[in-house]
Amino acid sequence: MLLGRRLSEELIDEIEARLIAADTGVAATTAIIDQLRQAYRTGNTTRGDDALESLKGQLKARLAGADRSLAVAAVKPTVVLIAGVNGSGKTTSAAKIAKSFTDDGHSVLLAAADTFRAAAVAQLSIWAERLGVDIVKGAPGADPAAVVFDAADAALARGVDVLLIDTGGRLHTQANLMRQLTKIRDVAAKRIPGAPHEVLLVLDATAGQNAIAQAEIFTKAIDITGIFLAKLDGTAKGGIVVAIHDALGIPVKLIGLGETPDDVEVFDPDAFIDAMFADEKA
């Protein structure tokens, strides 16, 4: 679209439409396009190739500087709380995180705190078995905070490195859901100093603006330390990463790229932005 072409007002309009179509968000798109138009009108940028470089540079700059590493507790276990709405990809992402920790030689305990749906506990149990990690679960309908209480004790007693808490994403009301989440957090904090060390909000990359609206609700209830952006394999709308960063100021730490436990990557902004425009090379 850009390579080998001369820049023009029309081409800048095309770039703008493309950024919006990729879910980059109005704020980032407007800022980037304003700068590009300015550079064009003053004669500083005349070639599509340079516009592409400017575009990528600006997007990368917006994502730069964030700490994307997962927190590690000074005294084990490190507690990772996984939150998000139903269907966003929490349980699958929990399996991915569990696998990457065990691959690195760390022991993991899973807590099945989505007791609202029996199928959710069963789903996590299957992953636990496949991955060869222990799981603590309560009876269907049990208080999720009680499950977390038991899981924290088990994690301490067994000396595991990482306790991963999979939570539910739907209750009778949103207020109830948020109250439950803060209760889970408080129980974890009471049993294990500094816990939860990491609170990952799982967002569905295909949900666009809706994912950002969900995130805003969660950030009001609990301190989110990072985003796990799931289902990035199912969308060409990679700009959502920039929109999330702009709207929330919370780093995307991990990205989900499929349905198996290996389909996870640490988010690398430069590589990601390059990939977003990879078709420009053709």
Ligand X SMILES: Nc1nc2c(ncn2[C@@H]2O[C@H](COP(=O)(O)OP(=O)(O)O)[C@@H](O)[C@H]2O)c(=O)[nH]1
Residues forming contacts to Mg ion in the complex (CB under 5 A) are 90-91, 120
- CB nearer to Mg ion: give 45 or 123: 123
Q: Residue 3: how many CA atoms within 13 Å on its side-chain side?
A: 6
Burial tier of 279 (Cβ tally within 10 Å: 0-12, 13-18, 19+):
exposed
Window 256-275: contact mask with ligand X (x via CB under 6 A): xxxx---x------------
Residue 87 touching ligand X (CB under 6 A): yes
Count, residues in the chain: 282
Residue 233 binds which entry of ligand X, Mg ion, none, CB below 5-8 Å type-dependent: ligand X
Residue that the structure tokens 């994690």 belong to: 155
- CB nearer to Mg ion: give 32 or 230: 230
Which residues ranging from 159 to 188 are in contact with ligand X (CB under 6 A)?
169
Residue 230 touching ligand X (CB under 6 A): yes
d(CA 208, CA 218) in angstroms, rounded, equals 16
Q: Looking at 92, 100, 180, 214, which residue binds ligand X (CB under 6 A)?
A: 92
CB of 222 to ligand X, least distance (A): 16
Token reading at 172: 């009778």
Which residues ranging from 198 to 217 are in contact with ligand X (CB under 6 A)?
202
Residue that the structure tokens 């009778």 belong to: 172
Other beta carbons within 10 angstroms of residue 73's beta carbon come to: 19
DSSP 6: B
Interface positions with ligand X (CB under 6 A): 84, 86-92, 169, 202, 230-231, 233-234, 256-259, 263
